[in-house]
């Protein structure tokens, strides 16, 4: 992997991490197009590590909110009067909502980094989860705001986030859909998705760091990918929050269907191999 590859993958990661179009799926496609070995643990690890750039963008963008939530959660541990406040509750929602994907990632690591890295899986997931996103927008009442969230919402969205371990589903597509199914409005569901992304992707990045550094990928290449992902992701976050305030997530469905269909054609005709 060279610096050109790092820049390309950093741009792809930053653009797609928080849009409901699957960053892992796009990174898998990009890595294949760049001629990288999808079965190489170092490449898989690099995919997870450059997500740290996108997470840094979330932390910077939502720094005041994150600091307020973290402070309220800590204070609420010793002062009961703080425990009913939204910020304290949100701290628990993020912690509890992250547990399912953390456990699934540990239990199914070999499957996630192995067989599921096939482009056939990516293509099918892009198309299949599009139907879920469409259904979520159709049935979601969106009558509940961020202040109306409960622990049941956090658990439900956390469980749905597990599905995003399948490349092509999209972590944001899964979690935003989960929020919509719970009747949460689109902006609040998107903000919850951002909050849940922090521990989930930081954990994945740390967990895969050994594989990424264990191969022939240099530290400089890794840093470039992270920095590029940070810059592009920051712009993507700002754009997405404005977009979902006025548009349905089903706007992304045609693109997902088109990309999934194109992949199937390329794979079926032998133009592109699945791994």
Query: What's this model's pTM, rounded to 2 decimal places?
Result: 0.87
| 208 vs 3 pLDDT, higher one | 3
The candidate with the shortest Cα–Cα distance to 117, out of 51, 174, 168, is 168
| 216 vs 198 pLDDT, higher one | 198
Domain ranges of the chain: 3-268
The candidate with the shortest Cα–Cα distance to 91, out of 106, 74, 110, 113, is 74
* Residue listed under structure tokens 């592009």: 232
C-alpha distances out from residue 144 to 67, 147, 166, 189, Å: 24, 8, 29, 10
Residue 17 pLDDT > 80: yes
Q: Which residues pair with 184 in a beta bridge?
A: 144
Which pLDDT score, from 0 to 100, does residue 229 have? 94
- The one-character DSSP state at 184 is B
- What H or E segment, with its residue span, contains residue 47? helix 41-49
SS3 108: coil
Name which of 188-192, 209-213, 225-229, 265-269 the model is least confident about.
209-213
The vertex-84 CA angle with 65 and 98, nearest 5°, equals: 55
What is the average per-residue pLDDT within 255-260?
95
């Amino acid at each position: 992997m060279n610096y050109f590859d790092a820049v390309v993958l950093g741009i792809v990661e930053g653009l797609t991490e928080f849009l409901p179009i699957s960053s892992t799926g796009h990174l898998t496609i990009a890595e294949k197009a760049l001629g990288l070995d999808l079965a190489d643990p170092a490449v898989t690890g690099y995919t997870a590590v450059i997500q740290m750039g996108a997470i840094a963008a979330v932390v910077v963008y939502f720094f005041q909110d994150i600091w307020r939530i973290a402070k309220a959660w800590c204070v609420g541990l010793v002062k009961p009067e703080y425990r009913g406040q939204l910020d304290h509750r949100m701290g628990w929602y993020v912690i509890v909502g992250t547990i399912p994907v953390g456990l699934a990632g540990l239990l199914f690591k070999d499957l996630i980094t192995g067989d599921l890295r096939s482009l056939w899986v990516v293509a099918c997931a892009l198309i299949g989860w599009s139907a879920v996103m469409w259904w979520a927008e159709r049935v979601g009442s969106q009558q509940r705001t961020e202040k109306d969230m409960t622990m049941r919402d956090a658990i439900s969205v956390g469980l749905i986030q597990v599905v995003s371990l399948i490349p092509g589903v999209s972590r944001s597509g899964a979690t935003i859909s989960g929020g919509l199914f719970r009747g949460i409005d689109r902006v609040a569901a998107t903000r919850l998705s951002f909050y849940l992304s922090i521990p989930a992707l930081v954990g994945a990045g740390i967990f895969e760091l050994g594989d990424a550094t264990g191969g022939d990928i240099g530290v400089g290449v890794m840093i470039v990918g992270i920095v590029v992902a940070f810059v592009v992701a920051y712009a993507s976050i700002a754009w997405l929050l404005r977009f979902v305030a006025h548009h349905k997530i089903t706007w992304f469905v045609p693109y997902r269907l088109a990309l999934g269909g194109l992949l199937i054609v390329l794979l079926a005709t032998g133009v592109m191999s699945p791994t």
